Amino acid sequence: MEKELEELRRSRPKPPVGGDFTLSDCFYFIRQGIESIVDDQVTQRFTSEELVSWNLLTRTNNDFQYISLKLTLVYGLGIIVRYCILAPLRITLTVIGVSWLVIGTSAFFVLYLVHVMCYRICARGLSATIRYHNRENKPKKGGICVANHTSPIDIVILCTDGCYAMVGQVHGGLMGIIQRAMVRSCPHVWFERSEMKDRHLVTKRLKDHVNDKKKLPILIFPEGTCINNTSVMMFKKGSFEIGTTIYPVAIKYDPKFGDAFWNSSKHSMVSYLLRMMTSWALVCNVWYLPAMHQQEGEDAVQFANRVKSAIAHQGGLVDLQWDGGLKRAKVKETFKEQQQKKYSNMVVRDDSSSNSD
């Protein structure tokens, strides 16, 4: 923006009095503001990705108005297949997978195999077709696996190819039963609600886990929220302060067969899972990237940005610096002040330099 403003000022006569600022500069800033509103890079990441062609799902036909009789017949046949044939089979497989996780971890000793088997059954319940690339770079024990986050199903996608230790809050009810079954199969890091706010306690528990080379690698999604799989947003620095090996993983879904993005502000977990089970399929690619370490003189934020850029480049995603927390929260006042100072410096810089001369 600064370069564009400088070129604009060079192309016009310099004002006879004062610095380079003129009232015409206001039009440039107004234009930039309107362009930012029209081409919003943030809020569009929290809605489903727009498709080039309709995939015969009602949830993605908003922009496709010209539907012929033949297409209507095909669409009706698709509804029968998805809701009357595929959905019951998928729900049955998912129930079997979850039940086997709870029962199998209590009755068998080879818990690693039970863990992987349960996730693979659940993946079949979503008709998941997954291609894993560069398996030689798979996360190893004593490290942290970080990946871009689109949906809770990301966990199923990754755990189908290996075991990971999860990090999260302790729940009650059915989720609590599943969590206790998961702990029996392999060690996880669960926190009480009050403990999640204690950053030092969380960091200590994570360090203790990764320092034990016999324990599984920790799986973390540093974005902290689900993004629609078109971009990667700011990584929280917490997992990059542990001082261990980071194993980046890029996950890219194919939206032609089903929208994997979970818009938690619009759909509940049950509603989302039903939408996935009535989609055509879940098709995705997973890339295991080479292990990365924090470089000398590099702080946690810089390290996180470097890992994020590598994931975005491999997955063909847009690398954004914005915080995914904007999905529910307002922009922080400190960030507004930084932008205001930036604009102020652009406006008054030349005036101050002229006065000093």
- For 225-258, b/e burial (b = at least 16 CB within 10 A) is bbbbbbbbbbbbebbbbbebbbbbbbbbbebbbb
Instruction: Identify the domain containing residue 166 by its residue range.
Output: 69-323
Q: Is residue 336 included in any domain, yes or no?
A: no
Q: For residues 115 and 271, which has the higher predicted lDDT (pLDDT)?
A: 271
Tell me: pLDDT of 32 over 70.
Answer: yes
296 in a structural domain: yes
* Residue 118 domain flag: yes
State pLDDT tens for residues 252-267: 999 888 889 988 888 8
Of residues 137 and 52, more confidence is placed in 137
Residues 190-201, mean pLDDT to the nearest whole number:
72
Please check the confidence at residue 10 and state whether its pLDDT lies above 70: no
Q: Where are the beta strands (DSSP E) in the chain?
A: 128-133, 144-147, 165-169, 189-191, 218-220, 231-232, 246-253, 282-288, 318-319
pLDDT at site 16: 56
Instruction: Supply the pTM of this predicted model.
Output: 0.80
Contact present, 185 and 208 (Cβ < 8 Å): no
**The two three-digit tokens of residue 193, written as one number:** 């609600």
Q: What are phi and psi of 249, to 5 degrees?
A: -135, 130
Question: Distance (Å, rounded) from C-alpha 252 to C-alpha 48?
Answer: 14
Q: Is 302 inside any structural domain? A: yes
**Average pLDDT over every residue of 96-120:** 78
Helix orientation angle between 111-124 and 173-185, rounded to the nearest 10 degrees: 130
pLDDT at 353: 46
Domain membership flag for residue 92: yes
Domain tally for the chain? 1
- Per the prediction, the chain carries an average pLDDT of 81
Task: Decide if 88 contacts 298 (C-beta within 8 A).
Answer: no
Least reliable range by pLDDT among 15-29, 39-53, 271-285: 15-29
Beta bridge partners of 167: 189
Q: What pLDDT was estimated at residue 154? A: 94
Give the span between the Cα atoms of 219 and 162, in whole angstroms: 11
Pick 164 or 199 by higher pLDDT: 164
Q: What is the CATH number of the domain that holds 297?
A: 3.40.1130
Whole-number CA gyration radius for the chain? 25
Q: Is residue 340 part of a domain?
A: no
271 vs 50: which has the higher pLDDT: 271
pLDDT band at 8 (very low <50, low <70, confident <90, very high): low
pLDDT per residue over 36-90, tens digit each? 666 667 777 777 777 766 777 765 555 555 567 777 788 788 889 999 999 999 9
Q: What is the pLDDT of residues 202-243, one digit of tens each?
A: 888 888 888 888 888 999 999 988 998 899 999 998 889 888
| Domain-embedded: residue 162 | yes
By mean pLDDT, which of 12-21, 116-125, 219-228, 276-285 is the weakest?
Answer: 12-21
The pLDDT, as a whole number, for residue 356 is 47
Residue 337 resides in a domain: no
Q: What is the average per-residue pLDDT within 79-106?
A: 87
Find out whether 253 and 100 touch, Cβ atoms under 8 Å. no
